[in-house]
C-alpha cells in the first residue's frame, strides 16, 4: 500500500494581478512530502506575432464559464493522471510584451504525469476556455484568430 | 432568456448582453442565430459566418443543433484564443 498522502488540491484563479511562480510552487508543495515533481508552464506576452510588432495585448474572458471550463479540465486531468496538486492562474486585462499571462502548475510523485497533465491543461485552456486576445500594433488593433494547430494539439488527448 | 456576446461578436452586435424573447418557432441555436440575424444589420454582421460562431448554453459549449428550451443564459463568441 502506498504510504503517501493522495490528496490533490486544485486551485483555479482568474485575475488582473500578476503572479509569482516561485510563490505559487511554494504554496502547492508546502508541508507535502509526497510530491516528487512539479511542472510549471508560464505563458508570456510576446513582442511579435509572425510579422506584426505587438505593442500590447488585451485579454477578455467570460466570467463564470472560464473558471468552470478550467475546473472541468483540471478534474479530468486529476482523473487521468496520478496528480498531487494543480494550479491554474489566467490573467485578464491589458499586457505589455514580457508580462505574464498564464500559469499552469502540476504536481505528481513522478515527472511523466506532471509533464503530461500540464500539456493537457494548456492544450484545452487554449481551445476551450473562453478567453480572447486582442492585439495592438502599429497597424491598429485586431482580435487574434484561433489556430488550427491548437485544435490539433487538443485533439491528441481525446480518448479513443 | 439572457444572451451574452464576447470579443468581436460583442463589438459587432454593439452590446455586452441583453434579454430576448425569440418566437416559439425558434428551437435550436442555429435557428436562434438565423432569427437574430434578421433583427438588424448589426446582428447580421456579427453572425455573417454562423459556422465560425461558438455557443455556450448555461456555461457549457454546445453545437449549433442544440435545443435552446430551458436555457437561462446563451453566449455567442468567436473561437477561443486564451492561454
Give the pLDDT confidence score for residue B37 in this predicted structure.
97
Q: Which of B8, B61, B83 sits opposite A122 (nearest CB)?
A: B83
Query: Closest Cα of chain A to B82: distance in Å?
Result: 5
Q: pLDDT for B18-71, tens place per residue?
A: 999 999 999 999 999 999 999 999 999 999 999 999 999 999 999 999 999 999
Give the pLDDT confidence score for residue A10 in this predicted structure.
97
- Tell me if A101 and B80 make a contact (CB, 8 A cut-off): no
CA angle, A60 as apex, A56 and A63 as ends, to 5°?
155
Give the pLDDT confidence score for residue A3 in this predicted structure.
43
Give the pLDDT confidence score for residue A2 in this predicted structure.
47
Per-residue pLDDT of chain A (160 residues; tens, 9 = 90+): 444 456 799 999 999 999 999 999 999 999 999 999 999 999 999 998 777 789 999 999 999 999 999 999 999 999 999 999 999 999 999 999 999 999 999 999 999 999 999 999 999 999 999 999 999 998 899 999 998 899 999 999 987 5
Chain B residues in contact with A102 by the CB 8 A cut-off are: 82-83
Give the pLDDT confidence score for residue A1 in this predicted structure.
43
Question: Could you tell me if B79 lies within 8 Å of chain A, comparing CB atoms?
Answer: yes
Three-state SS letters, A86-125? EEEEEECEEECCCCEEEEEEEEECCHHHHHHHHHHHHHHH
DSSP string, chain B: -EEEE-HHHHHHHT-SEEE----TT--BHHHHHHHHHTT-HHHHHHTSSTTT-EEEETTEEE-TT-B-TT-SEEEEEPPP---
- Tell me if B82 and A134 make a contact (CB, 8 A cut-off): no
Kindly provide the ipTM of the predicted complex, given to two decimals: 0.95
- Tell me if A130 and B6 make a contact (CB, 8 A cut-off): yes
Task: With beta carbons less than 8 A apart as the criterion, state whether A73 and A10 touch.
Answer: no
Instruction: Determine if the pTM surpasses 0.95.
Output: no
Amino acid at each position: 500500500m502506498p504510504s503517501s498522502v493522495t490528496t490533490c488540491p486544485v486551485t483555479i484563479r482568474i485575475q488582473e494581478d500578476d503572479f509569482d511562480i516561485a510563490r505559487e510552487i511554494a504554496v502547492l508543495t508546502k508541508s507535502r512530502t509526497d510530491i516528487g515533481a512539479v511542472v510549471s508552464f508560464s505563458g508570456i506576452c510576446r513582442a511579435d506575432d509572425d510579422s506584426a510588432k505587438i505593442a500590447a495585448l488585451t485579454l477578455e474572458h467570460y466570467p463564470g464559464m472560464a473558471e468552470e471550463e478550467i475546473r472541468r479540465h483540471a478534474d479530468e486531468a486529476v482523473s487521468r493522471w496520478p496528480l498531487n496538486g494543480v494550479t491554474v492562474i489566467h490573467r485578464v486585462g491589458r499586457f505589455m510584451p514580457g508580462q505574464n499571462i498564464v500559469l499552469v502548475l502540476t504536481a505528481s510523485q513522478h515527472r511523466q504525469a506532471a509533464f503530461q497533465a500540464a500539456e493537457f491543461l494548456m492544450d484545452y485552456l487554449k481551445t476551450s476556455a473562453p478567453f480572447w486576445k486582442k492585439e495592438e500594433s502599429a497597424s491598429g488593433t485586431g482580435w487574434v484568430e484561433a489556430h488550427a494547430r491548437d485544435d490539433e494539439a487538443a485533439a491528441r488527448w481525446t480518448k479513443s | 432568456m439572457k444572451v451574452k456576446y464576447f470579443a468581436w461578436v460583442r463589438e459587432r452586435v454593439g452590446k455586452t448582453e441583453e434579454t430576448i424573447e425569440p418566437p416559439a418557432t425558434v428551437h435550436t441555436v442555429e435557428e436562434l442565430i438565423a432569427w437574430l440575424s434578421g433583427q438588424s444589420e448589426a446582428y447580421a454582421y456579427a453572425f455573417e459566418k454562423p459556422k465560425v460562431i461558438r455557443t455556450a448554453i448555461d456555461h457549457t459549449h454546445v453545437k449549433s443543433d442544440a435545443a435552446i428550451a430551458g436555457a437561462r443564459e446563451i453566449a455567442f463568441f468567436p473561437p477561443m484564443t486564451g492561454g
